Each structure stands twice: as structure tokens, then as C-alpha cells.
Structure 1
Amino acid sequence: MKQKKTIEDYLKTIYILSKKKKVRGIDIAEKLKVSRPTVSVAVKELAREGYLFVDDMFEIHLTESGRKIAEETHERHNTLFCFLTDIGVNPKTASEDACEMEHAISKESYEALKSWYCKIR
């Protein structure tokens, strides 16, 4: 699971879910539309990489480094989504495109876009 997009998608999903409830593998599988075994493998790898941990009740928690990546990814998504909808893209397409763009855009380009966008809003 060394792909940046996959790591960011899992961490962002856990972050969003954790705002509403305790996170378990089944919740991640449902949200990402993947199988429970796929989530199990991913969670083990993300835990090995230090992005999350699973407690004795099988609840999944982000570590500080996992939370940082998740928050940054979530912010990029929200900014890109707002930008796209503001320029007339329908919300469904904007959400799908923002999900792809949030992983591909460089930090420099994102910061420049965000700065410009905040000025014009």
C-alpha cells in the first residue's frame, strides 16, 4: 500500500468517521466500498507504518502523524471542492474531481491556489 492516494484515502476516511463515532474496519469498508479483508490488510500496513493503531476493542485510531496527513488531505479536498463548485461544476462531479486532485496537486500549487482563492472569496 505504498501508493500515496491509497494511504491518504484511508487516513482521511478514518479521520472523517472518527468525528462521528468509534471507527471499526467494517465502517471503513462500507465508506470506501472495499471488502473487509482489504481493509484488514490496509489497517495492518498503516499501523506498521505508524499512521494508526487498533485498540483492545478493535477500534481504529489515528496517530499524530496519521491525523496530520488526514487533516491536510481533508482540507485539500474541501478547498478544491469549494473552488470547483464556485466556478460552476456540479457538486457530484466536483466531489469526484476533488478526490482525485487532492492527491495529485503539489504542495506549492495547492498553497498558491488556496491563497488566490481566499483572496477572491
Structure 2
Amino acid sequence: MFHNESGENYLKAIFILQNTRGEFRRSDLADYMGYSRPSISNAVDKLMKQGLVNSRDGVLHLTEKGTQASICLLDKYDFLVELLKNCGVDLDTAKREACEIEHSISYDTYVKMKNKLGR
């Protein structure tokens, strides 16, 4: 779906903010992620060029494409957390390692794992 872990993390954060706060700006995203405002601006500009995010009057919004991509990313993460927990991994470790794994496997591999496990 993406070519880098960073883009995926930004997209997930935007989705979460959009669904918890409604309206938010780049500065809110910087505060949420703990990154500098120039880093946020650079990342948001890249997501906008990919057609995943748009901005009206400084307020960020996911496009339909961005929303669908975010849902897929979060679903993959949630699936991996649950899988690791079911294998006996504690929650904090499961969350940390699911975040690492989700960026290492393709969407196709994730779908095959999910189908194999009947989820």
C-alpha cells in the first residue's frame, strides 16, 4: 500500500484525530505524534500528493482513498495485536511488536493470514 512506515503512521494518526476530534490542523497532528511542525508539513504534503489527505482552511481531512487506506492499516494492526495476545504475548509487547510487524508484511500476506485463521 505504501512504501514506508512513516507514511503509514501519519495516515493512521490522521484517521484517529479525525474520528476523535473532528477538526484538526497540522499543529494538532504535530502535538499528537510528538514530531516537529516542519516534519508534519512535509509528511502531510506527501500524503496530499498521493490523494490521501486534503486541507480546507487549514483543517486536514482524509479523502475517501485515505480513509479506506487508514481503515486497512488499522485493521491489520488490530489483527496482529490480537493474534499476538492470543499467543500469550502481554498487551504492551503485542502492541509494540504488532506495530513493527505491520510494516514488514504486505497487505496480501496479512489477508492470507487472516483468511487462514478464519477471521
Percent identical residues: 33
Q: For structure 1, list consecutive stretches of 5 or more residues without a partner in the other structure.
A: none
Shift of residue 106 of structure 1?
2.0
What is the SS of the residue equivalent to 1:89? coil
Superposed CA offset, 1:4-61 (max 9, x none):
21111111111111111122212322232211111011112211221111111x1110
Q: CA RMSD in A?
A: 1.7
What is the SS of the residue equivalent to 2:7? helix
Superposed CA offset, 1:70-117 (max 9, x none):
111000000001111111111111111111211211233211221233
Range 6-15 or range 72-81, more displaced: 6-15
Q: For structure 2, list consecutive stretches of 5 or more residues without a partner in the other structure.
A: none
Q: TM-score, normalised by structure 1?
A: 0.86
**Does the 8 A contact of 1:53 with 1:61 survive in 2?**
yes
Superposition map of 1:1-121 within 5 A: 3-21=3-21, 22-56=23-57, 58-118=58-118
What is the SS of the residue equivalent to 1:44? helix
CA distance in 2, matches of 1:47, 1:108: 25
CA distance in 2, matches of 1:93, 1:25: 30
Count of residue correspondences: 117
